[in-house]
Protein backbone atom coordinates (compact mmCIF):
# COMPACT_ATOMS: atom_id res chain seq x y z
CA UNK A 1 0.00 0.00 0.00
CA UNK A 2 2.89 2.35 0.87
CA UNK A 3 4.60 1.48 -2.42
CA UNK A 4 1.48 2.53 -4.34
CA UNK A 5 1.33 5.83 -2.45
CA UNK A 6 5.04 6.46 -3.06
CA UNK A 7 4.53 5.81 -6.79
CA UNK A 8 1.68 8.36 -6.91
CA UNK A 9 3.81 10.97 -5.15
CA UNK A 10 6.68 10.31 -7.54
CA UNK A 11 4.42 10.89 -10.56
CA UNK A 12 3.18 14.19 -9.11
CA UNK A 13 6.71 15.45 -8.48
CA UNK A 14 7.87 14.26 -11.87
CA UNK A 15 4.99 16.08 -13.62
CA UNK A 16 5.71 19.24 -11.61
CA UNK A 17 9.39 19.16 -12.56
CA UNK A 18 8.50 18.65 -16.24
CA UNK A 19 6.19 21.65 -16.19
CA UNK A 20 8.88 23.81 -14.56
CA UNK A 21 11.38 22.66 -17.17
CA UNK A 22 9.11 23.18 -20.19
CA UNK A 23 7.42 26.42 -19.06
CA UNK A 24 10.07 28.81 -20.43
CA UNK A 25 9.91 27.11 -23.82
CA UNK A 26 6.12 27.25 -23.91
CA UNK A 27 6.18 30.90 -22.91
CA UNK A 28 8.78 31.78 -25.51
CA UNK A 29 6.42 30.44 -28.19
CA UNK A 30 3.55 32.68 -27.05
CA UNK A 31 5.40 35.97 -26.62
CA UNK A 32 7.31 38.05 -29.13
CA UNK A 33 10.94 38.83 -28.46
CA UNK A 34 12.04 42.40 -27.90
CA UNK A 35 14.21 42.07 -30.98
CA UNK A 36 11.20 41.29 -33.18
CA UNK A 37 9.13 44.07 -31.63
CA UNK A 38 11.94 46.54 -32.28
CA UNK A 39 12.31 45.37 -35.89
CA UNK A 40 8.54 45.55 -36.43
CA UNK A 41 8.28 49.09 -35.10
CA UNK A 42 11.28 50.23 -37.15
CA UNK A 43 9.71 48.88 -40.35
CA UNK A 44 6.32 50.48 -39.60
CA UNK A 45 8.09 53.76 -38.85
CA UNK A 46 9.92 53.54 -42.20
CA UNK A 47 6.59 52.85 -43.91
CA UNK A 48 5.09 55.95 -42.30
CA UNK A 49 7.80 58.07 -43.88
CA UNK A 50 7.10 56.49 -47.26
CA UNK A 51 3.37 57.12 -46.87
CA UNK A 52 4.09 60.74 -46.01
CA UNK A 53 6.08 60.95 -49.24
CA UNK A 54 3.23 59.25 -51.12
CA UNK A 55 5.47 56.30 -51.99
CA UNK A 56 2.59 53.91 -51.48
CA UNK A 57 3.99 50.84 -53.29
CA UNK A 58 7.21 50.90 -51.30
CA UNK A 59 5.24 51.47 -48.11
CA UNK A 60 3.09 48.42 -48.86
CA UNK A 61 6.20 46.27 -49.30
CA UNK A 62 7.47 47.41 -45.90
CA UNK A 63 4.14 46.88 -44.19
CA UNK A 64 3.75 43.40 -45.64
CA UNK A 65 7.16 42.57 -44.16
CA UNK A 66 5.95 43.88 -40.80
CA UNK A 67 2.85 41.67 -40.84
CA UNK A 68 5.05 38.62 -41.33
CA UNK A 69 7.20 39.53 -38.34
CA UNK A 70 4.28 40.03 -35.93
CA UNK A 71 1.06 38.96 -37.68
CA UNK A 72 -1.03 39.54 -34.55
CA UNK A 73 -0.47 43.31 -34.39
CA UNK A 74 -2.98 45.52 -36.17
CA UNK A 75 -0.81 48.64 -36.73
CA UNK A 76 0.64 47.51 -40.08
CA UNK A 77 -2.73 46.19 -41.28
CA UNK A 78 -4.36 49.53 -40.47
CA UNK A 79 -1.84 51.32 -42.63
CA UNK A 80 -2.24 48.83 -45.49
CA UNK A 81 -6.01 49.30 -45.41
CA UNK A 82 -5.45 53.08 -45.24
CA UNK A 83 -3.29 53.03 -48.38
CA UNK A 84 -5.83 51.03 -50.37
CA UNK A 85 -8.53 53.38 -49.11
CA UNK A 86 -6.62 56.46 -50.26
CA UNK A 87 -6.12 54.82 -53.65
CA UNK A 88 -9.86 54.05 -53.87
CA UNK A 89 -9.29 50.28 -53.81
CA UNK A 90 -11.41 49.08 -50.87
CA UNK A 91 -11.79 45.64 -52.47
CA UNK A 92 -8.02 45.14 -52.10
CA UNK A 93 -8.22 46.30 -48.48
CA UNK A 94 -10.96 43.74 -47.76
CA UNK A 95 -8.85 41.00 -49.36
CA UNK A 96 -5.96 41.84 -47.02
CA UNK A 97 -8.23 41.36 -44.01
CA UNK A 98 -9.56 38.07 -45.35
CA UNK A 99 -6.02 36.77 -45.91
CA UNK A 100 -4.82 37.81 -42.44
CA UNK A 101 -6.04 34.45 -41.10
CA UNK A 102 -6.70 33.94 -37.41
CA UNK A 103 -3.76 35.93 -36.12
CA UNK A 104 -5.63 39.21 -35.58
CA UNK A 105 -8.15 39.52 -32.77
CA UNK A 106 -11.84 39.81 -33.63
CA UNK A 107 -11.94 43.39 -32.35
CA UNK A 108 -8.97 44.34 -34.55
CA UNK A 109 -10.59 42.77 -37.60
CA UNK A 110 -13.78 44.66 -36.79
CA UNK A 111 -11.82 47.91 -36.77
CA UNK A 112 -10.35 47.11 -40.19
CA UNK A 113 -13.69 46.14 -41.74
CA UNK A 114 -15.11 49.42 -40.43
CA UNK A 115 -12.39 51.29 -42.33
CA UNK A 116 -13.30 49.38 -45.49
CA UNK A 117 -16.98 50.19 -44.90
CA UNK A 118 -16.07 53.87 -44.58
CA UNK A 119 -14.14 53.69 -47.86
CA UNK A 120 -17.08 52.17 -49.73
CA UNK A 121 -19.41 54.73 -48.16
CA UNK A 122 -17.26 57.61 -49.36
CA UNK A 123 -17.28 56.12 -52.87
CA UNK A 124 -21.08 55.97 -52.80
CA UNK A 125 -21.15 52.15 -52.88
CA UNK A 126 -23.55 51.88 -50.00
CA UNK A 127 -24.55 48.21 -50.33
CA UNK A 128 -20.89 47.20 -50.10
CA UNK A 129 -20.46 49.59 -47.19
CA UNK A 130 -23.30 47.84 -45.34
CA UNK A 131 -21.72 44.43 -46.01
CA UNK A 132 -18.41 45.47 -44.44
CA UNK A 133 -20.02 47.25 -41.50
CA UNK A 134 -22.05 44.10 -40.82
CA UNK A 135 -18.87 42.01 -40.92
CA UNK A 136 -17.39 44.39 -38.34
CA UNK A 137 -20.45 44.22 -36.13
CA UNK A 138 -20.49 40.43 -36.39
CA UNK A 139 -16.99 40.37 -34.95
CA UNK A 140 -17.54 43.05 -32.34
CA UNK A 141 -21.02 44.40 -31.65
CA UNK A 142 -19.38 47.05 -29.46
CA UNK A 143 -17.71 48.71 -32.46
CA UNK A 144 -19.76 51.91 -32.40
CA UNK A 145 -18.02 53.38 -35.46
CA UNK A 146 -19.29 50.40 -37.47
CA UNK A 147 -22.75 50.81 -35.97
CA UNK A 148 -23.01 54.49 -36.89
CA UNK A 149 -21.50 53.91 -40.32
CA UNK A 150 -23.97 51.13 -41.02
CA UNK A 151 -26.88 53.34 -39.93
CA UNK A 152 -25.79 56.06 -42.35
CA UNK A 153 -25.41 53.55 -45.18
CA UNK A 154 -28.90 52.17 -44.44
CA UNK A 155 -30.28 55.70 -44.79
CA UNK A 156 -28.70 55.93 -48.23
CA UNK A 157 -30.34 52.72 -49.48
CA UNK A 158 -33.76 53.35 -47.97
CA UNK A 159 -33.59 51.01 -44.96
CA UNK A 160 -34.80 53.73 -42.60
CA UNK A 161 -36.09 51.51 -39.78
CA UNK A 162 -32.86 49.52 -39.68
CA UNK A 163 -30.95 52.80 -39.53
CA UNK A 164 -33.15 54.02 -36.69
CA UNK A 165 -32.53 50.86 -34.64
CA UNK A 166 -28.78 51.39 -34.89
CA UNK A 167 -28.98 55.12 -34.18
CA UNK A 168 -30.83 54.47 -30.95
CA UNK A 169 -27.78 52.75 -29.49
CA UNK A 170 -25.72 54.58 -26.88
CA UNK A 171 -22.91 56.55 -28.50
CA UNK A 172 -20.35 58.89 -27.02
CA UNK A 173 -18.71 62.15 -28.09
CA UNK A 174 -19.15 63.33 -31.67
CA UNK A 175 -20.83 60.05 -32.63
CA UNK A 176 -23.56 60.74 -30.05
CA UNK A 177 -24.12 64.21 -31.52
CA UNK A 178 -24.25 62.95 -35.11
CA UNK A 179 -26.55 60.03 -34.30
CA UNK A 180 -28.91 62.38 -32.47
CA UNK A 181 -29.08 64.68 -35.51
CA UNK A 182 -29.83 61.74 -37.79
CA UNK A 183 -32.57 60.54 -35.45
CA UNK A 184 -34.09 64.01 -35.64
CA UNK A 185 -33.95 63.84 -39.45
CA UNK A 186 -35.79 60.52 -39.40
CA UNK A 187 -38.35 61.69 -36.86
CA UNK A 188 -39.19 64.74 -38.99
CA UNK A 189 -40.60 62.42 -41.66
CA UNK A 190 -43.61 61.88 -39.39
CA UNK A 191 -43.48 64.31 -36.46
CA UNK A 192 -41.57 67.59 -36.70
CA UNK A 193 -42.36 68.56 -33.12
CA UNK A 194 -40.77 65.37 -31.85
CA UNK A 195 -37.85 65.98 -34.19
CA UNK A 196 -37.32 69.38 -32.60
CA UNK A 197 -37.36 67.83 -29.11
CA UNK A 198 -34.73 65.29 -30.14
CA UNK A 199 -32.58 68.00 -31.66
CA UNK A 200 -32.62 70.12 -28.51
CA UNK A 201 -31.79 67.18 -26.24
CA UNK A 202 -28.07 67.40 -27.08
CA UNK A 203 -25.52 70.21 -27.02
CA UNK A 204 -23.91 70.02 -30.49
CA UNK A 205 -20.40 71.30 -29.78
CA UNK A 206 -18.26 73.11 -32.36
CA UNK A 207 -18.02 70.38 -35.00
CA UNK A 208 -21.77 69.90 -35.41
CA UNK A 209 -23.02 73.34 -34.39
CA UNK A 210 -23.57 74.60 -37.94
CA UNK A 211 -25.59 71.51 -38.96
CA UNK A 212 -27.67 71.65 -35.77
CA UNK A 213 -28.32 75.39 -36.18
CA UNK A 214 -29.40 74.99 -39.80
CA UNK A 215 -31.72 72.07 -39.01
CA UNK A 216 -33.19 73.99 -36.08
CA UNK A 217 -33.88 76.95 -38.40
CA UNK A 218 -35.59 74.66 -40.91
CA UNK A 219 -37.80 73.10 -38.24
CA UNK A 220 -38.60 76.56 -36.84
CA UNK A 221 -39.64 77.88 -40.26
CA UNK A 222 -42.40 75.31 -40.85
CA UNK A 223 -46.07 76.30 -40.94
CA UNK A 224 -49.43 74.71 -41.74
CA UNK A 225 -48.65 74.26 -45.46
CA UNK A 226 -47.92 70.55 -45.98
CA UNK A 227 -46.16 70.92 -49.33
CA UNK A 228 -44.11 73.92 -48.23
CA UNK A 229 -42.96 72.00 -45.17
CA UNK A 230 -42.08 68.92 -47.20
CA UNK A 231 -40.03 70.97 -49.67
CA UNK A 232 -38.21 72.73 -46.83
CA UNK A 233 -37.32 69.48 -45.11
CA UNK A 234 -36.49 67.76 -48.39
CA UNK A 235 -34.05 70.48 -49.42
CA UNK A 236 -32.15 70.12 -46.16
CA UNK A 237 -32.04 66.33 -46.55
CA UNK A 238 -30.54 66.71 -50.03
CA UNK A 239 -28.12 69.44 -48.96
CA UNK A 240 -26.88 67.26 -46.08
CA UNK A 241 -26.29 64.28 -48.35
CA UNK A 242 -29.33 62.11 -47.51
CA UNK A 243 -31.43 62.21 -50.70
CA UNK A 244 -33.40 59.09 -49.86
CA UNK A 245 -34.98 60.86 -46.89
CA UNK A 246 -36.23 63.56 -49.28
CA UNK A 247 -37.59 60.86 -51.58
CA UNK A 248 -39.32 59.09 -48.67
CA UNK A 249 -40.97 62.36 -47.68
CA UNK A 250 -41.88 63.82 -51.09
CA UNK A 251 -42.64 60.81 -53.28
CA UNK A 252 -45.94 59.97 -51.50
CA UNK A 253 -47.02 63.59 -52.08
CA UNK A 254 -46.23 63.58 -55.81
CA UNK A 255 -49.85 63.67 -56.93
CA UNK A 256 -50.45 66.76 -54.75
CA UNK A 257 -47.45 68.62 -56.17
CA UNK A 258 -48.50 68.95 -59.82
CA UNK A 259 -48.55 72.72 -59.52
CA UNK A 260 -45.90 73.02 -56.82
CA UNK A 261 -42.62 73.51 -58.70
CA UNK A 262 -40.43 73.84 -55.60
CA UNK A 263 -41.44 70.44 -54.27
CA UNK A 264 -41.08 68.79 -57.69
CA UNK A 265 -37.62 70.29 -58.13
CA UNK A 266 -36.43 69.00 -54.75
CA UNK A 267 -37.81 65.53 -55.52
CA UNK A 268 -36.20 65.54 -58.97
CA UNK A 269 -32.88 66.62 -57.52
CA UNK A 270 -33.14 63.95 -54.81
CA UNK A 271 -33.70 61.31 -57.49
CA UNK A 272 -30.62 62.59 -59.34
CA UNK A 273 -28.45 62.50 -56.21
CA UNK A 274 -29.73 58.98 -55.52
CA UNK A 275 -28.77 57.84 -59.03
CA UNK A 276 -32.39 57.47 -60.25
CA UNK A 277 -31.81 59.56 -63.38
CA UNK A 278 -34.89 58.49 -65.34
CA UNK A 279 -37.15 59.17 -62.36
CA UNK A 280 -35.54 62.57 -62.04
CA UNK A 281 -36.25 63.32 -65.69
CA UNK A 282 -39.84 62.10 -65.32
CA UNK A 283 -40.46 64.56 -62.49
CA UNK A 284 -38.56 67.56 -63.83
CA UNK A 285 -39.10 67.74 -67.56
CA UNK A 286 -42.76 68.74 -67.39
CA UNK A 287 -42.45 71.39 -64.67
CA UNK A 288 -43.96 74.67 -65.77
CA UNK A 289 -42.64 77.73 -63.96
CA UNK A 290 -41.68 81.28 -64.81
CA UNK A 291 -39.40 81.80 -61.83
CA UNK A 292 -35.64 81.68 -61.25
CA UNK A 293 -36.00 77.97 -60.54
CA UNK A 294 -35.81 77.15 -64.27
CA UNK A 295 -32.03 77.51 -64.30
CA UNK A 296 -31.67 74.86 -61.62
CA UNK A 297 -34.33 72.53 -63.04
CA UNK A 298 -32.58 72.48 -66.41
CA UNK A 299 -29.19 72.10 -64.74
CA UNK A 300 -30.32 68.89 -63.03
CA UNK A 301 -31.88 67.63 -66.26
CA UNK A 302 -28.61 68.30 -68.09
CA UNK A 303 -26.79 66.22 -65.47
CA UNK A 304 -29.39 63.45 -65.72
CA UNK A 305 -28.99 63.11 -69.46
CA UNK A 306 -25.21 63.22 -69.25
CA UNK A 307 -25.25 60.34 -66.77
CA UNK A 308 -27.43 58.45 -69.24
CA UNK A 309 -24.86 59.10 -72.01
CA UNK A 310 -27.25 61.30 -74.00
CA UNK A 311 -24.82 64.12 -74.76
CA UNK A 312 -27.11 65.95 -77.19
CA UNK A 313 -29.99 66.23 -74.71
CA UNK A 314 -27.52 67.16 -71.98
CA UNK A 315 -26.09 70.01 -74.08
CA UNK A 316 -29.61 71.25 -74.90
CA UNK A 317 -30.52 71.45 -71.21
CA UNK A 318 -27.22 73.10 -70.22
CA UNK A 319 -27.92 75.72 -72.89
CA UNK A 320 -31.43 76.24 -71.52
CA UNK A 321 -30.09 76.55 -67.99
CA UNK A 322 -27.59 79.21 -69.09
CA UNK A 323 -30.27 81.03 -71.06
CA UNK A 324 -32.69 81.17 -68.13
CA UNK A 325 -29.92 82.06 -65.71
CA UNK A 326 -28.78 84.95 -67.93
CA UNK A 327 -26.65 87.37 -65.90
CA UNK A 328 -27.50 85.43 -62.72
CA UNK A 329 -26.27 82.10 -64.08
CA UNK A 330 -24.15 80.16 -61.60
CA UNK A 331 -20.40 80.09 -62.36
CA UNK A 332 -20.16 76.47 -61.18
CA UNK A 333 -22.69 75.47 -63.83
CA UNK A 334 -20.63 77.14 -66.55
CA UNK A 335 -17.44 75.42 -65.41
CA UNK A 336 -19.15 72.04 -65.14
CA UNK A 337 -20.58 72.43 -68.65
CA UNK A 338 -17.23 73.52 -70.09
CA UNK A 339 -15.43 70.58 -68.46
CA UNK A 340 -17.88 68.21 -70.13
CA UNK A 341 -17.48 69.87 -73.52
CA UNK A 342 -13.68 69.66 -73.30
CA UNK A 343 -13.85 66.04 -72.15
CA UNK A 344 -16.02 65.29 -75.19
CA UNK A 345 -13.63 67.35 -77.36
CA UNK A 346 -16.45 69.69 -78.42
CA UNK A 347 -14.18 72.72 -78.43
CA UNK A 348 -16.18 74.81 -80.89
CA UNK A 349 -19.21 74.56 -78.60
CA UNK A 350 -16.95 75.29 -75.62
CA UNK A 351 -15.82 78.55 -77.24
CA UNK A 352 -19.45 79.49 -77.82
CA UNK A 353 -20.17 78.95 -74.12
CA UNK A 354 -17.05 80.92 -73.15
CA UNK A 355 -18.24 83.91 -75.15
CA UNK A 356 -21.38 83.94 -73.00
CA UNK A 357 -19.37 83.44 -69.82
CA UNK A 358 -16.99 86.36 -70.37
CA UNK A 359 -19.96 88.71 -70.66
CA UNK A 360 -20.96 87.84 -67.10
CA UNK A 361 -17.79 86.87 -65.26
CA UNK A 362 -14.50 88.70 -64.82
CA UNK A 363 -12.97 86.05 -62.58
CA UNK A 364 -9.53 84.53 -63.08
CA UNK A 365 -11.04 81.25 -64.28
CA UNK A 366 -12.21 82.78 -67.58
CA UNK A 367 -8.78 83.18 -69.28
CA UNK A 368 -7.72 79.90 -67.66
CA UNK A 369 -10.52 78.05 -69.46
CA UNK A 370 -9.61 79.75 -72.73
CA UNK A 371 -6.05 78.43 -72.26
CA UNK A 372 -7.36 74.90 -71.77
CA UNK A 373 -9.64 75.09 -74.80
CA UNK A 374 -7.04 76.57 -77.16
CA UNK A 375 -4.53 73.98 -75.99
CA UNK A 376 -6.94 71.29 -77.15
CA UNK A 377 -7.48 73.15 -80.43
CA UNK A 378 -3.71 73.46 -80.97
CA UNK A 379 -4.06 77.20 -81.64
CA UNK A 380 -0.68 78.69 -80.70
CA UNK A 381 -1.61 82.32 -81.19
CA UNK A 382 -4.78 82.22 -79.09
CA UNK A 383 -3.17 79.94 -76.52
CA UNK A 384 -0.31 82.38 -75.98
CA UNK A 385 -2.67 85.37 -75.89
CA UNK A 386 -4.85 83.93 -73.12
CA UNK A 387 -1.91 82.37 -71.23
CA UNK A 388 -0.47 85.88 -70.93
CA UNK A 389 -3.82 87.15 -69.62
CA UNK A 390 -3.85 84.65 -66.74
CA UNK A 391 -2.94 86.34 -63.46
CA UNK A 392 -1.07 83.42 -61.88
CA UNK A 393 -0.79 84.92 -58.40
CA UNK A 394 -4.56 85.47 -58.25
CA UNK A 395 -5.29 81.78 -58.87
CA UNK A 396 -5.89 79.38 -56.01
CA UNK A 397 -3.60 76.33 -55.80
CA UNK A 398 -6.01 74.10 -57.70
CA UNK A 399 -6.28 76.62 -60.55
CA UNK A 400 -2.50 77.12 -60.56
CA UNK A 401 -2.01 73.38 -61.05
CA UNK A 402 -4.55 73.34 -63.90
CA UNK A 403 -2.82 76.27 -65.59
CA UNK A 404 0.68 74.83 -65.22
CA UNK A 405 -0.43 71.45 -66.53
CA UNK A 406 -2.16 72.98 -69.57
CA UNK A 407 0.77 75.28 -70.32
CA UNK A 408 3.45 72.66 -69.74
CA UNK A 409 1.65 70.06 -71.82
CA UNK A 410 1.23 72.47 -74.71
CA UNK A 411 4.87 73.61 -74.66
CA UNK A 412 6.13 70.02 -74.61
CA UNK A 413 3.84 69.16 -77.50
CA UNK A 414 5.34 72.08 -79.42
CA UNK A 415 8.89 70.98 -78.45
CA UNK A 416 9.55 74.26 -76.63
CA UNK A 417 11.44 72.34 -73.99
CA UNK A 418 13.31 75.20 -72.30
CA UNK A 419 10.07 77.07 -71.69
CA UNK A 420 8.39 73.84 -70.61
CA UNK A 421 11.16 73.18 -68.08
CA UNK A 422 10.60 76.62 -66.56
CA UNK A 423 6.92 75.72 -66.12
CA UNK A 424 7.89 72.40 -64.52
CA UNK A 425 10.19 74.16 -62.07
CA UNK A 426 7.27 76.29 -60.89
CA UNK A 427 5.00 73.22 -60.80
CA UNK A 428 7.52 71.35 -58.61
CA UNK A 429 7.51 74.20 -56.10
CA UNK A 430 3.70 74.17 -56.08
CA UNK A 431 3.29 70.41 -55.64
CA UNK A 432 5.87 67.82 -56.65
CA UNK A 433 3.38 65.05 -55.83
CA UNK A 434 0.76 66.22 -58.33
CA UNK A 435 0.42 63.33 -60.80
CA UNK A 436 0.11 65.84 -63.65
CA UNK A 437 3.54 67.28 -62.81
CA UNK A 438 5.07 63.81 -62.87
CA UNK A 439 3.41 62.98 -66.18
CA UNK A 440 4.85 66.16 -67.69
CA UNK A 441 8.34 65.23 -66.45
CA UNK A 442 7.90 61.83 -68.09
CA UNK A 443 6.82 63.46 -71.36
CA UNK A 444 9.68 65.96 -71.47
CA UNK A 445 12.13 63.16 -70.62
CA UNK A 446 11.00 61.24 -73.70
CA UNK A 447 11.67 64.35 -75.79
CA UNK A 448 15.18 64.36 -74.29
CA UNK A 449 15.57 60.61 -75.02
CA UNK A 450 15.94 59.88 -71.31
CA UNK A 451 13.72 56.83 -71.24
CA UNK A 452 14.70 55.61 -67.79
CA UNK A 453 13.68 58.93 -66.27
CA UNK A 454 10.50 58.87 -68.34
CA UNK A 455 9.63 55.42 -66.93
CA UNK A 456 10.40 56.54 -63.39
CA UNK A 457 8.13 59.57 -63.56
CA UNK A 458 5.35 57.83 -65.47
CA UNK A 459 5.24 55.28 -62.63
CA UNK A 460 5.20 58.12 -60.11
CA UNK A 461 2.30 59.73 -61.95
CA UNK A 462 0.33 56.49 -61.57
CA UNK A 463 1.41 56.10 -57.94
CA UNK A 464 0.30 59.61 -56.98
CA UNK A 465 -2.88 59.61 -59.09
CA UNK A 466 -5.58 58.91 -56.52
CA UNK A 467 -8.45 60.14 -58.70
CA UNK A 468 -7.56 58.67 -62.07
CA UNK A 469 -6.66 62.04 -63.59
CA UNK A 470 -3.67 60.98 -65.72
CA UNK A 471 -3.14 57.27 -65.04
CA UNK A 472 -4.41 56.26 -68.48
CA UNK A 473 -1.99 58.63 -70.22
CA UNK A 474 0.89 57.48 -68.00
CA UNK A 475 0.17 53.81 -68.71
CA UNK A 476 0.06 54.55 -72.47
CA UNK A 477 3.41 56.30 -72.19
CA UNK A 478 4.92 53.35 -70.32
CA UNK A 479 3.65 50.94 -72.98
CA UNK A 480 5.31 53.05 -75.69
CA UNK A 481 8.64 53.01 -73.85
CA UNK A 482 8.52 49.24 -73.27
Per-residue pLDDT of 218-272, as tens digits, reads: 999 999 999 999 999 999 999 999 999 999 999 999 999 988 999 999 999 999 9
**pLDDT (0 to 100) of residue 286:** 86
- The DSSP secondary structure of 154-217, one letter per residue, reads HHHTT-HHHHHHHHTS---HHHHHHHHHHHHHHHTTT-HHHHHHHHTTS--HHHHHHHHHHHHH
Q: Is the pLDDT of residue 444 over 60?
A: yes
Q: Mean pLDDT across the stretch 317-329?
A: 95
Q: Cβ(322)–Cβ(341) under 8 Å? A: no
Q: How confident is the model at residue 9 (pLDDT cuts 50, 70, 90)?
A: low
Q: How confident is the model at residue 20 (pLDDT cuts 50, 70, 90)?
A: very low
Query: Percent of the chain beyond pLDDT 90?
Result: 89
CA distance 262 to 227: 9
CA distance 369 to 64: 44
Per-residue pLDDT of 145-177, as tens digits, reads: 999 999 999 999 999 999 999 999 999 999 999
Interacting residues of 198 by C-beta distance below 8 A, sequence separation 6+? 180, 183, 184, 187
**pLDDT (0 to 100) of residue 2:** 44
- Give the closest residue to 439 by CA, choosing from 463, 470, 417, 415: 470
**pLDDT (0 to 100) of residue 12:** 52
Q: How confident is the model at residue 397 (pLDDT cuts 50, 70, 90)?
A: very high
Instruction: Please indicate whether residue 2 or residue 80 has the higher confidence score (pLDDT).
Output: 80
Return the DSSP state at 428.
H
Q: Is the pLDDT of residue 25 over 50?
A: no
Lowest-confidence pick of 20-24, 284-288, 326-330: 20-24
DSSP three-state, residue 433: coil
Q: Is the pLDDT of residue 8 over 80?
A: no
Return the DSSP state at 327.
G
Q: Is the pLDDT of residue 424 over 60?
A: yes
Q: Is the pLDDT of residue 24 over 50?
A: no
How many C-beta atoms lie closer than 10 Å to residue 83's C-beta? 21
Q: Mean pLDDT across the stretch 198-204?
A: 95
Mean pLDDT (the chain, rounded): 93
Return the DSSP state at 254.
G
**pLDDT (0 to 100) of residue 288:** 75
Q: How confident is the model at residue 391 (pLDDT cuts 50, 70, 90)?
A: very high
**pLDDT (0 to 100) of residue 3:** 46
Q: Is the pLDDT of residue 30 over 70?
A: no
**pLDDT (0 to 100) of residue 176:** 97
Model's pTM, two decimal places?
0.89
**pLDDT (0 to 100) of residue 31:** 73
CA distance 328 to 139: 54
Query: Percent of the chain beyond pLDDT 70?
Result: 94
Helix axes 435-447, 397-413, angle to 10 degrees: 20
Q: Mean pLDDT across the stretch 45-68?
A: 96
Q: How confident is the model at residue 29 (pLDDT cuts 50, 70, 90)?
A: very low
Q: Is the pLDDT of residue 133 over 60?
A: yes
- Give the closest residue to 176 by CA, choosing from 144, 200, 215: 144
Q: How confident is the model at residue 482 (pLDDT cuts 50, 70, 90)?
A: confident
Amino acid sequence: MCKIQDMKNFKKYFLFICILFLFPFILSGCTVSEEKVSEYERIVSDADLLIKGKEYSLALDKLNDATEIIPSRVDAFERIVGIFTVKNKPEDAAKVIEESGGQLSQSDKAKLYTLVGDAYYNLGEFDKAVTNYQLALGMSDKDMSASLGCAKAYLQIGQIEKAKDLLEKTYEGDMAIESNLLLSYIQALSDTNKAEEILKSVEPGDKWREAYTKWNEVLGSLNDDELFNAAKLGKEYVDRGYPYLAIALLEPKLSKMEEYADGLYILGKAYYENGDYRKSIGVLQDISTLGDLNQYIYWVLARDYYQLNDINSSIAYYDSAISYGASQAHFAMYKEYLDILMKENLTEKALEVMRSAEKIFTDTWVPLYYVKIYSLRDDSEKFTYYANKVSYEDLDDSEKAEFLYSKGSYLIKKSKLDEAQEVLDVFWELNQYDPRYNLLVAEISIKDNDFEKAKEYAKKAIEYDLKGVVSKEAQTLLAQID
